[in-house]
Structures are given as C-alpha cells and as structure tokens.
Amino acid sequence: MFRVMDSQVSIISYLGLTLNIYITIFISLIWALFVHGMKLWFEILFGVWILRRISPFSKILIERLYRLLGLESVVLENKDLRGTVCIVTGGATGIGKKVSEFFVKCGATVIIADIQENKGRVTAYKINTNNSSTGLARYMYIDLSDEKSIRSFVKRFTYDYDRLDILVNNAGIGSGSGYRKEESSDFEKYINKVFQVNYIGTFILTELLLPILKVSFEQSLLSQLSEKIYIYIYIYI
C-alpha cells in the first residue's frame, strides 16, 4: 500500500514538474510573439496617426521611428530609385553584389564596376533575369590599381550616361589570413597594391566622377570599402 502511494506521489511529482516546464516554455514563446507583434502594431498605428495629423513631416518622423525600432530595412524597401544611375565598385560579389541587387530592385540603373569580368557579367545577367522592376544592371570593367583603367572607365561611363546619382566605393582588397614579412618576397608590392586599390584608386575615381555627381539633384556618395580590407600584418624584429 505504501509502495503504491510512493509511486503515485512520484508520478504526480514528475507530471507536475514536466507540466511546469511546458508551461514555462509556452509562456516564453507567447511573450516573445506578443512583444514582436506589439512592436509591429505600434509601428503601423503610430505611422497612420502621423500621416493623418502632420503629413508634411510624416516621412521624416516615420523613418526616425523605424530606426528607433530597429526596422531600417523596412524604410529601405520603400525607396523609389527609378530614373537614377548608380555605380557600385566591387559589385560582382559580396556586399557590392547585394547592394547592386537592392538598387536594381528599387528601379535604378546600376553599373557594376569590377575587375572580375566573368563574375561581373554573370552577376549583372542574374540580377536582370530575377528582376521584376524597371531597374537594370550593367557590367563595366575597372582596375582600381591602374589609373589608366580608372580614366578609361570614367570616359566610357560619361559617354553613355549624363548623370550619376549614387556612387558606392565598395571595392577593396586584403587578406584575413595575415602576412609575415619574412615569408613573402612580394610583401612591399602587395602593400602598395592594397593602398592603390583601397585608397588612391578610390580617390581618383571619386575625383573624376564628382563633376557629373554634382549635377544630380540628390547626389549621394558612399565610401565603405569591402570587408576584404581588414588585413593582419605580422612584423618580427
């Protein structure tokens, strides 16, 4: 009799503990969904309220609200770039590729400026194939380590286009694996090329494009350089 009672108590205790665990998990999930849902509803309701009462300033205030709520991507999705012309250096792969995709999605004409000719053409083709907007991607060759190549690119671009609205200096080279001075006979040559591409070449390109960039009504210049510029240099004495 006592053994039965002990086993029943054990079973009841086990069931109670299991039930408490499931209840805790369930409440946690509901709370997470509630907080996320309230965030979205607050954003929508407050945006409508702003539009109705102070419409001249609604765009600015709503964008600030988006940023406070960590919803910058929602703001970006509403951008209308139809009729604009953009240049994205290093646009064949990585960050530059994603930026190019986004601009085309918003309706812009995007020049993918990259030294990787095959990848650049493939990227432009894929973007245009998957694009349902009025935007267009086009590849143009450029070597930022060669001033002649930069000037040739600018000459081709200004011949085909009479405006430039956005210039994204994304291209950059480097190595995350690190370089040891005694292990590389071309160390100095490599460093010179890094500075040429990441800084000097980018400066020359921007300087040459500034006149046409200034003509645009709402010109934009973004210099962020790709993640590849982070290099580790080990020098042993």
**What pLDDT digit, counting tens, does each position of 58-72 carry?**
555 555 555 555 545
* Higher per-residue confidence, 65 vs 237: 65
Q: Which of 48, 72, 96 is the last residue of a domain?
A: 72
Q: 122 falls in which pLDDT band (50, 70, 90)?
A: very high
Residues 206 and 124 in one domain: yes
Q: Supply the DSSP string of the chain, one letter for each residue.
A: -HHHHHHHHHHHHHHHHHHHHHHHHHHHHHHHHHHHHHHHHHHHHHHHHHHHH-GGGHHHHHHHHHHHTT-HHHHHHT---TT-EEEEETTTSHHHHHHHHHHHHTT-EEEEEES-HHHHHHHHHHHHHS--SS-EEEEEE--TT-HHHHHHHHHHHHHH-S---EEEE------TT-EEGGG-TTHHHHHHHHHIIIIIHHHHHHHHHHHHHHHSTT-EEEE---GGG---EE---
**Are 45 and 107 within one domain?**
no
Q: Which domain holds residue 179?
A: 85-233
**Residue 78 counted as domain residue:** no
- Residues 15 and 118 grouped into a single domain: no
Same domain (yes/no): 91, 62: no
Reply yes or no on whether the pLDDT at 42 is more than 60: no
